[in-house]
Chains A and B, each alone.
Chain A
């Protein structure tokens, strides 16, 4: 693998150049009349790609990477104006193409794969029809031969039972199969270039590994791949060249090995440093100063013997009856202990029962069997009234805070509402405490007047944390609380959570699908699969000496930075004992 990469790097210039972009500029005109403005979103971008190579364009949201990719297929969006000194794709000068010529090119010479196949494939049609459509649009074959070809294509991207799958709609397929079907529709006519915009972002880590492997095989067959991603570790497994974009411009570009392991630009370095992993444990991820945290608790802390758990779950079981009448056990016999001042990480793929477990820990959902104890006293199985006085002890932060805020309230009102009345009887006291909370989470006073929609993603999540802190809880449940954030913002929020824990002695129940984040944050880890806790132990034990095959599979599937691609065991070897390479 390493050998082929070097080979590619050396002979790259000799191979057919598929993509030549020099000085690409894209701007959007917004507003009308007097308000008309020109927003410059892609600035002086140079890109090159040869057959059988992968060029990765990396950046955070708003960096212009997706617009760049869409410009390459002539669909930058409405009101866009594109200028380039040179724009050549698969031998065509695409700067001056008309719509009709573009349509002949799209799908035939360039394939494009979007992020989430559930919505990127027409949800009302069988996936086979979408693949046949790609063939039909370019006049390939007859109705019958197209149907047969669609099945062949599904088989070629590794879809089992392709005849059956071709007749199913996206919602009837799992995330991995959907993404494969989408890829099949994009490569139906064997395009020379495949542009993949965040192709694995919506996928679980094991499925992500399979899709990356599929893209890798296409690269070996000579397809040129442009990979758009926010995730540097995904890029590391596939890319030969990496271009890092920030604010519409490429700040650093070069061979993957150099950019990822010897970054020259500060922004690239900050991006790499911000990725939580084993190595970042105990160190701040962002360069920002520490939050100003002064614990001014008004409520007496519960005194408990050392090592006694704050929250204890015993044999939780929860089943739901689906609309088809079939009962599914979503959580099946999960037990855990959360000790004071500690973080328990719950990790698992989608549908593993993490969030249902969190709901039971919050006592927002009664378990069918088992119980939750808070400070040794029953927390589930009691009346709502009996729970109310202790409600404030356990609070929650969700992935998308926007939907949990009243959009008509400003930040100040949201926090005032969360304060316990009995602690702050006076209006002035409450207002002061709100400012105190905002300061603790790094929000400025001017942010308090704003509405959730006017805040950035990171500020919103800080507000959600402030609201969770307001009742002075002992436990905060963080349900995918950083999953929707850009890596640099995620780093700041994770640092904030760490500081708050140290200063306020909080316990976190930290739920995430991201193994790196879990490793960075957790003292103890619980691995869930299909509703069961398959492994549980200290972070050190679970990550470095995983005992359960599923944990090993998860760890093997995780794209890792910090070591050269190829050092890691390929996903095919999942199930073998700990990947030595991953921890060397």
Chain B
């Protein structure tokens, strides 16, 4: 072990794990835990696995956002239709050809005449300082437009994900590895739920629970009671997907010896399901959640328009319809960033759920 002291790089690794493992080898007297000698390997700060991994992840995240930004920039710059004309028409609220004299001040103001590459670097520079441009339609900075509306959408997204997890966890823990009847009915329901179109489900929920029963407001505010139906609209189909990927893992877990061991020490069936097996079965669902978080964010538009909720979805639809390109681009970049963030969260959740992954 003394060799470790000569090596700065190795000291960066988790010392508790290192000490524990070698102690395990020595403690059993004969159970060779770590065979062979350890030799220090040429090492420095940059090649330390932990740092390298974190650095790599950060680079990937920046790369994804940069790619999304570049893509939206190219769409803005290269799409048919002159941007200055578009802007003027938006301002005037009419569609007509503009003369060069009319366009010149606009081109000068927004720099549309500059070489593409110069525009690109200016765009990136603005992006780095948090400036996403000004909305053609609302004449407000895009960041402001998004900032006003992003709150309810994020709330809806996370509420939907939570609802999906609750539904699927209850259904799985309650029905997997039960009688053939129960488990195939539940599995069938999951498949149906996964296939439900969100707009149809949303309308049905609205008609039944808001219009007929009057349990929830018809026009959703930002309050908690206005959140229930939209969250169910997005959450139920996702719960079906989550259930399908979790069920197999859960059944595998129920057959594992540790589940039997827990029964042997006096735990009941429900205890085993909730305290042991559920945790083992959620990993594939967690992977799916990373994707789901991003897709819920963009799918929020459906729930927002059905339930007349404020939110980014509406802003996006309006912006697309009126070709308000800076707003569209701002939202696309935001969604890319959310995807990246979601996947980072998934990675963190992974090691929290299965600590063994920390070392691999």
Instruction: Tell me how far the C-beta of A243 lies from the nearest C-beta in chain B, rounded to whole angstroms.
Output: 21
A459 within 8 A of B: no
Instruction: Tell me how far the C-beta of A355 lies from the nearest C-beta in chain B, rounded to whole angstroms.
Output: 12
Asked if B32 and A530 sit within 8 Å, CB to CB, the answer is yes
How many residues of B sit at the interface, in one of the four size bands?
A: 35 or more
Chain A residues lying within 8 Å of B323, measured Cβ to Cβ, are: none
Which of A4-12, A169-177, A449-457, A486-494 contacts its partner? A169-177
User: How far, in whole Å, are A124 and B21 apart by their CA atoms in the complex?
Assistant: 17
A434 within 8 A of B: no
- Picked from A124, A182, A329, the residue with its CB within 8 Å of the CB of B355 is A124
- Picked from B28, B35, B354, B359, the residue with its CB within 8 Å of the CB of A324 is B359
A359 within 8 A of B: no
- Picked from B35, B260, B266, the residue with its CB within 8 Å of the CB of A134 is B266
Asked if B258 and A327 sit within 8 Å, CB to CB, the answer is no
User: How far, in whole Å, are A182 and B29 apart by their CA atoms in the complex?
Assistant: 18
A289 within 8 A of B: no
For B280, give the chain A residue with the smallest CB separation: A124
B13 within 8 A of A: yes
User: How far, in whole Å, are A186 and B18 apart by their CA atoms in the complex?
Assistant: 29
- Picked from B47, B264, B275, B353, the residue with its CB within 8 Å of the CB of A106 is B264
| A288-329 interface code vs B (CB 8 A; 1 in, 0 out) | 000000000000000000000000000000010101111111
For B179, give the chain A residue with the smallest CB separation: A78
For B257, give the chain A residue with the smallest CB separation: A120
B256 within 8 A of A: yes
B49 within 8 A of A: yes
Asked if B267 and A103 sit within 8 Å, CB to CB, the answer is yes
B97 within 8 A of A: no
B5 within 8 A of A: no
Asked if B20 and A172 sit within 8 Å, CB to CB, the answer is yes
Quick one: given A173-B24, A177-B28, A324-B18, are A134 and B39 in contact (CB under 8 Å)?
no
User: How far, in whole Å, are A324 and B19 apart by their CA atoms in the complex?
Assistant: 13
Instruction: Tell me how far the C-beta of B120 lies from the nearest C-beta in chain A, rounded to whole angstroms.
Output: 41
Describe B's contact surface by its main secondary structure.
helix
Asked if B36 and A530 sit within 8 Å, CB to CB, the answer is yes
- Picked from A99, A112, A175, A352, the residue with its CB within 8 Å of the CB of B261 is A112
User: How far, in whole Å, are A107 and B355 apart by their CA atoms in the complex?
Assistant: 27
User: How far, in whole Å, are A138 and B266 apart by their CA atoms in the complex?
Assistant: 8
A566 within 8 A of B: no
A206 within 8 A of B: yes
Give chain A interface residues in 103-145, CB to chain B under 8 Å. Answer: 103-108, 111-112, 114-116, 119-124, 130, 133-134, 137-138
Asked if A75 and B260 sit within 8 Å, CB to CB, the answer is yes
Which of A50-58, A160-168, A408-416 contacts its partner? A160-168
Chain B residues lying within 8 Å of A104, measured Cβ to Cβ, are: 266
User: How far, in whole Å, are A195 and B41 apart by their CA atoms in the complex?
Assistant: 47
B6 within 8 A of A: no
B31 within 8 A of A: yes
Chain B residues lying within 8 Å of A342, measured Cβ to Cβ, are: none
Asked if B32 and A121 sit within 8 Å, CB to CB, the answer is no
Asked if A107 and B266 sit within 8 Å, CB to CB, the answer is yes
User: How far, in whole Å, are A371 and B170 apart by their CA atoms in the complex?
Assistant: 59
Chain B residues lying within 8 Å of A138, measured Cβ to Cβ, are: 266
For B38, give the chain A residue with the smallest CB separation: A326
Chain A residues lying within 8 Å of B34, measured Cβ to Cβ, are: 328, 351
A531 within 8 A of B: yes
Asked if B36 and A207 sit within 8 Å, CB to CB, the answer is no
Asked if A169 and B355 sit within 8 Å, CB to CB, the answer is yes
Asked if B257 and A119 sit within 8 Å, CB to CB, the answer is yes
A555 within 8 A of B: no
- Picked from A115, A124, A351, the residue with its CB within 8 Å of the CB of B356 is A124
B48 within 8 A of A: yes
Chain B residues lying within 8 Å of A325, measured Cβ to Cβ, are: 9-10, 13, 41, 43, 47-49
Quick one: given A112-B261, A124-B280, A325-B43, are A553 and B266 in contact (CB under 8 Å)?
no
Give chain A interface residues in 71-95, CB to chain B under 8 Å. Answer: 73, 75
Quick one: given A119-B257, A120-B257, A177-B31, are A328 and B265 in contact (CB under 8 Å)?
no
| B1-30 interface code vs A (CB 8 A; 1 in, 0 out) | 000000001100100011011011101111
| B235-255 interface code vs A (CB 8 A; 1 in, 0 out) | 000000000000000000000
For B39, give the chain A residue with the smallest CB separation: A327
User: How far, in whole Å, are A529 and B261 apart by their CA atoms in the complex?
Assistant: 33
Asked if B38 and A106 sit within 8 Å, CB to CB, the answer is no
Asked if A106 and B35 sit within 8 Å, CB to CB, the answer is no
Quick one: given A120-B257, A161-B23, A351-B35, are A326 and B10 in contact (CB under 8 Å)?
yes
How many residues of A sit at the interface, in one of the four size bands?
A: 35 or more
B122 within 8 A of A: no
Chain B residues lying within 8 Å of A75, measured Cβ to Cβ, are: 260, 263-264
A332 within 8 A of B: yes
Asked if A161 and B27 sit within 8 Å, CB to CB, the answer is yes
A507 within 8 A of B: no
Quick one: given A349-B32, A351-B33, are A323 and B49 in contact (CB under 8 Å)?
yes
For B279, give the chain A residue with the smallest CB separation: A124
| B267-304 interface code vs A (CB 8 A; 1 in, 0 out) | 11001000110011000000000000000000000000
User: How far, in whole Å, are A553 and B29 apart by their CA atoms in the complex?
Assistant: 11
A204 within 8 A of B: yes
Quick one: given A112-B261, A120-B261, A325-B13, are A204 and B267 in contact (CB under 8 Å)?
no
Asked if A324 and B13 sit within 8 Å, CB to CB, the answer is yes
Instruction: Tell me how far the C-beta of B259 lies from the nearest C-beta in chain A, rounded to whole angstroms.
Output: 9
Chain B residues lying within 8 Å of A134, measured Cβ to Cβ, are: 265-266
For A349, give the chain B residue with the smallest CB separation: B32
User: How far, in whole Å, are A328 and B359 apart by their CA atoms in the complex?
Assistant: 16
Chain A residues lying within 8 Å of B276, measured Cβ to Cβ, are: 122
Asked if A177 and B35 sit within 8 Å, CB to CB, the answer is no
| B339-360 interface code vs A (CB 8 A; 1 in, 0 out) | 0000000000000011110011
Asked if B264 and A121 sit within 8 Å, CB to CB, the answer is no
Chain A residues lying within 8 Å of B32, measured Cβ to Cβ, are: 174, 204, 349-352, 529-530
Asked if A531 and B36 sit within 8 Å, CB to CB, the answer is yes
- Picked from A106, A119, A188, the residue with its CB within 8 Å of the CB of B258 is A119
For A106, give the chain B residue with the smallest CB separation: B266
Instruction: Tell me how far the C-beta of A34 lies from the nearest C-beta in chain B, rounded to whole angstroms.
Output: 16
Chain B residues lying within 8 Å of A169, measured Cβ to Cβ, are: 355-356
Instruction: Tell me how far the C-beta of A406 lies from the nearest C-beta in chain B, rounded to whole angstroms.
Output: 24
Quick one: given A134-B266, A137-B267, A329-B39, are A123 and B31 in contact (CB under 8 Å)?
no
Instruction: Tell me how far the C-beta of A326 lies from the nearest C-beta in chain B, rounded to whole angstroms.
Output: 5
For B253, give the chain A residue with the smallest CB separation: A122
Asked if A332 and B257 sit within 8 Å, CB to CB, the answer is no
Asked if B27 and A330 sit within 8 Å, CB to CB, the answer is no
Asked if B10 and A332 sit within 8 Å, CB to CB, the answer is no
User: How far, in whole Å, are A120 and B263 apart by their CA atoms in the complex?
Assistant: 11
For B277, give the chain A residue with the smallest CB separation: A122
Give chain B interface residues in 111-132, CB to chain A under 8 Å. Answer: none
- Picked from B30, B48, B257, B356, the residue with its CB within 8 Å of the CB of A204 is B30
User: How far, in whole Å, are A323 and B52 apart by their CA atoms in the complex?
Assistant: 12
B167 within 8 A of A: no
Chain A residues lying within 8 Å of B39, measured Cβ to Cβ, are: 319, 327, 329
For A185, give the chain B residue with the smallest CB separation: B265
Quick one: given A122-B258, A530-B32, are A108 and B266 in contact (CB under 8 Å)?
yes
Chain B residues lying within 8 Å of A248, measured Cβ to Cβ, are: none
User: How far, in whole Å, are A344 and B289 apart by their CA atoms in the complex?
Assistant: 54
- Picked from B37, B257, B267, the residue with its CB within 8 Å of the CB of A133 is B267
Q: Could you show 16 A-B contacts with beta carbons less than 8 Å apart?
A: A105-B266, A111-B264, A119-B257, A130-B261, A172-B17, A172-B24, A173-B24, A174-B32, A186-B265, A210-B28, A321-B41, A324-B17, A324-B359, A325-B43, A326-B18, A351-B35
Task: Sort A-B residue pairs by CB-CB distance and give the 4 closest, nearest first.
Answer: A107-B266, A107-B265, A206-B30, A112-B264
Taking A75-B260, A107-B266, A324-B359 as known contacts, 5 extra A-B pairs with beta carbons closer than 8 A to each other, sorted by chain A number, are: A106-B263, A169-B356, A177-B24, A328-B38, A332-B37
* Residues of B participating in the A interface, judged by any CB pair closer than 8 Å: 9-10, 13, 17-18, 20-21, 23-25, 27-41, 43, 47-49, 180, 256-258, 260-268, 271, 275-276, 279-280, 353-356, 359-360
